[in-house]
Structure 1
Amino acid sequence: MQINKTENVYPCTVCNSVFSQKINLKSHMRVHTREKPYSCKVCGSAFSHSSNLKTHIRVHTGEKPYSCEICLVAFSDKSSLKNHMMIHTGEKPFHCEICGSSFSRKSHLKSHSRRHSGEKPFACNVCGSSFSENSTLRKHLLTHTGLKPYSCTVCGLSYFDESSLKRHIRLHTGEKSYICEDCGAAFSVISTLKSHRRTHTGEKPYSCQICDMAFAENSTLTKHIRIHTGEKPYRCQICPSAFSRNSHLKAHIRTHTGEKPYSCEFCNAAFSDNSNLKTHKRIHTHEKPYSCKVCGSAFSQKSNLETHIRTHKKNLEDLLSHAA
């Protein structure tokens, strides 16, 4: 006669996870208690599992026992090797449910998802600015220290991080290695190429959670959200004025300095911002892009159209009053 042997079951009293061995339950409980009994004797870092401490110690020893069989790059832990192998295989198992983008790492998907949600969990403890990436926060913190350790050997300009210096150097070399497959346009930075590609695809992956408007650029979404929040982070150091966009602040500062960098090619009139120049040039071109939907009258400035529309409203009110 066969006897069914019942396996021992060890349930977690906090989250109801079940384990077949008591030692595994004990290890799991540290997730809840945040206990970290394994400490590094070199730097004092503490870990909840001995295996994590063992991996960490390799940071100090430089040991990298896991090697890629394809390119021989070595890693200190097996998970890093596994992530690296996806570069060769092209495997991208983590998919964005909103736009369909795929990623080789879960952490990359998590970072990408913040572009859709607008979540910025990494806050600067100096000025309160928030960022979607911890790496962006670290770069931002350097702006408070004033340190710019990366200098251009051509013109002497300095930058907070190495990637910014590399992008800058391409201005001198003229290198544009990122090519658009649709129109052949070339770019020095891959992020600019990605943004450009959306002009062909019409993709707008960055959505406002308040009004559902969608944008091709995350930076444009950030600016748009300030319409809802009323946030004006750019402050004039001369007067109390504040602005939602840095470009608006720059234009405002010219009212103090008197600078007028935008000149009319027809009459040499100068303006402090480009939008005023565009409006002015319509005097010469006779362009009237603002049309009245009631009578068809056209105007060179939006404010003139708005004033004109009021004449229709007034005429309608007069007709209604006479009819009454």
Structure 2
Amino acid sequence: MNTNTDTKEKPFSCDECDSSFKSKQYLTIHMRIHTGEKPYSCEVCLSAFKSKQYLAIHMRTHTGEKPYSCEICLSAFRSKQNLAIHMRIHTGEKPYSCEICGVSFTQKQNMSQHMRIHTGEKPYSCEVCCSSFTQKRSMLQHMRTHTGEKPYSCELCDFSFTNKATRLQHMRTHTGEKPYSCEVCGSSFTSKQTMLTHMRTHTGEKPYSCEVCGSSFTRKYSLVIHMQIHTAEKPYSCKVCDSSFKNKNELIVHMLTHTGEKPYSCEVCGSSFTRKQDLVFHMRTHTGEKPYTCEICGSSFSRKYSMVIHMRTHTGEKPYSCEVCGASFTHKQTRLQHMQTHTGEKPYSCEVCGSFFKSKQTMLIHMQTHTGEKPYSCELCAYSFTRKYSLVIHMRIHTGEKPYSCEVCGSYFTIKQTLLTHMRKHTGEKPFPCEVCGASFTIKQTMVTHMRTHTGEKPFSCEVCGASFTQKPHIVQHMRTHTGEKQKQKSDHNRGQCTQ
């Protein structure tokens, strides 16, 4: 029905692409897309166009005329189409969506360029170094790295830049302007690229991968920093504890930890430090100064190292690895605590029942089992928990949030451990071996159930006839022999089997 209506309203059709038009004139103009004909030329710059209307719009670039104005912000435009696109900024309309990842765009051209991220297409190549680019503009800007051209200068500090956008972004360091806002959390940024990088903290996208260990990152710079873990040489070693350092000065400062010397003292509280820098950091506890700010979420820190560790919550970087099992961690202290799982060391004990624990925090949480304290309550269903993290996981039952996604098949999970277990389906990893026959399993519980085939244990018993079984599903199936219930059988075809 719609086809017949379109045929009546647009009777003139293109033989090349089946597009239809209201008039023969529109069809004639459209055909020039296929023939490449551009009969209308600009007398000023000799640019050519397929229609007289496009030439008229182009001429406004020379005359400066912008007859179409936005009634909301008074911005002016050369064409009605540009105004219509601009209005989407105010309405929030994004009519063009990517069918692969669902990202939406205000212009069709932007979506076409975005699609190259998925297809890997880079149609524009540099003739000097053969680098490829998804956009022609990016290739032209890249060429300036070879020519050294920096045509855009800052009027305030005389810095020069290869492109106009970089200069504009730099100017915001003087004005403090942050025009790009995150639609999810409201954080503001000086550049669109920084905002897009920040968005990956919400989407989980990590497009930059380490070729050595496979770690992935949201930013290219984070990958560069991470690579130092694999390549960074530390030629200066401490003869007392065998610690290694990148430079001699770090070694000299480190040696003070063995001599006990603390030459730098705080004039406010008298605390002493081995390094001058540590004293500087300490003074900020008195002044409240936090000069290091995270560009992604705006958190502030008194020490640069604290911000570096914090950044790993955004980048996902885990530079400290366990030499026993290969588990990775964001900072050294967490890895040291993890090592206790292998050594069996549990230095913290409960004064009530004498249980031992690997960390003080775990011991304090355990103490709540004696006091009955559950300080973290759900406001929706009144469940209470001893740990804040348990409440966070519980809340996902109400919100439906599943923040952990499988990069292979796209499945989502509420907790990280479930994702890790799921990933074994793709990797084939079976970390739980049977000590008797060597069979391996992806889940510990499956291995425990399997062990019953060797021990003969049958913990599930039928209350009717006393029959025993190794697994709970077996007794459920057995009970149907008493109740008369018939399990619905699946056909061989539905099981993925062929009968002959």
Find the counterpart in structure 2 of residue 137 from structure 1.
111
Are 1:85 and 2:59 an aligned pair? yes
Aligned pairs for 1:110-121 within 5 A: 110-111=84-85, 121=95
Aligned counterparts of 1:264 and 1:80: Cα–Cα separation in 2: 62
Matched residue type, 1:233? E
Residue 142 of structure 1 and its aligned partner are, at CA, apart by: 3.3
**Could you tell me how far apart the structure 1 residues matched to 2:93 and 2:11 are?**
33
Residue 120 of structure 1: how far off its partner (Å): 5.1
Larger radius of gyration: 2
- Number of the residue aligned with 1:233: 205
- Aligned pairs for 1:41-190 (under 5 A) are 41-95=15-69, 101-111=75-85, 121-190=95-164
Q: In the alignment, what sits opposite 2:11?
A: 37
Determine the C-alpha separation between the residues in 1 that align with 2:117 and 2:198: 25
Do the aligned residues in 2 keep the contact of 1:117 with 1:209 (CA within 8 Å)?
no
Spell out, residue by residue over 1:296-319, the C-alpha distance to the aligned partner (whole angstroms, 9 max, x if none): 477647869xxxxxxxxxxxxxxx
Residue 73 of structure 1: how far off its partner (Å): 3.7
Cα shift at 1:39: 0.3
| Matches of 1:203 and 1:111, distance apart in 2 | 24
Residue from 215, 219, 225 that aligns with 1:246: 219
How many aligned residue pairs are there? 256
Q: Which has the higher contact order (CA 8 A, sep 6+)?
A: 1
Letter in 1 for 2:284: S
Partner of 2:440: none
| Alpha-carbon distance between aligned partners in 2 of 1:127 and 1:264, rounded to the nearest angstrom | 43
Residue identity opposite 1:142 in structure 2: R
Deviations for 1:148-192, whole angstroms, at most 9, x for unmatched residues? 444333333333343332222211111111222333221112221
Partner Cα distance (2:61, 2:206) in 1: 41
Measured after TM superposition, the shift of residue 99 of structure 1 is 6.2
CA distance in 2, matches of 1:222, 1:97: 29
For structure 1, the 5+ residue unaligned runs are 1-28, 270-281, 305-324
Work out the CA distance in 1 between the residues paired with 2:81 and 2:204.
31
**Rounded Cα–Cα distance in structure 1 between residues aligned with 2:161 and 2:27:** 44
Paired AA for residue 37 in structure 1: P
CA distance change for structure 1 residues 209 and 168 in 2, over 3 Å: closer, same or farther? closer
1:291 maps to 2:263: no
Mapped contact 1:206–1:218 kept (Cα < 8 A): yes
| Structure 2 residue aligned with 1:258 | 230
Could you tell me whether the CA contact under 8 Å between 2:233 and 2:246 is conserved in 1? Answer: no
Distance 1:147 1:197, change over 3 A: same
Query: 2:220, 2:184 → 1: CA distance?
Result: 24
8 Å Cα contact 1:115-1:218 kept in structure 2: no
3-state SS of paired residue (1:125): coil
Tell me which moved more, 177-186 or 66-75. Answer: 66-75
Q: Quote the residue 1:315 is aligned against.
A: none
Shift of 1:97: 6.4
Q: Aligned-pair RMSD on alpha carbons? A: 4.5
Q: What residue is the counterpart of 1:279 in the other structure?
A: none
Identity %: 40
Distance 2:106 2:233 in 1: 35
Letter in 1 for 2:127: T
- C-alpha distance after superposition, 1:58-82 (max 9, x if no partner): 3345544544454454422232122
Distance 1:199-1:91 versus aligned 2 partners, 3 A rule: farther
Deviation, 1:248, is 8.2
2:195 counterpart of 1:221: yes
Return the TM-score normalized by structure 2: 0.41
> Does the CA-based 8 Å contact 2:154-2:171 persist in structure 1?
yes
8 Å CA contact 1:234, 1:249 repeated in 2: no
2:200/2:206 contact within 8 Å kept: no
Q: Which moved more, 1:119-128 or 1:79-88?
A: 119-128
Does the 8 Å CA contact 2:180/2:195 hold for their aligned counterparts? yes
TM-superposition CA deviations, 1:34-76 (whole Å, max 9, x none): 9432102344321234332132123345544544454454422
Kindly provide the amino acid, as one letter, of the partner of residue 234 in structure 1: K
Distance in 2, matches of 1:174 and 1:62, equals 35
1:116-174, CA deviations, whole angstroms, 9 ceiling, x for partnerless residues? Answer: 77765433334444445433332343344444444333333333343332222211111
Alignment partners' CA distance in 2, 1:146 and 1:165: 16
How far apart are the structure 2 equivalents of 1:59 and 1:110? Answer: 23
Matches of 2:59 and 2:166, distance apart in 1:
27
User: What runs of 5+ residues in structure 2 fail to find an aligned partner?
Assistant: 235-244, 252-273, 290-301, 308-500
Change in Cα spacing, 1:290 to 1:147, as seen in structure 2 (3 Å) is: farther
TM-score (norm 1): 0.59
SS of the residue aligned with 1:291?
A: helix
Tell whether the 8 Å contact from 1:116 to 1:207 is kept in structure 2 after alignment: no
Q: 1:84: how far off?
A: 0.6
CA 1:149–1:54: 2 relative to 1, 3 Å: closer
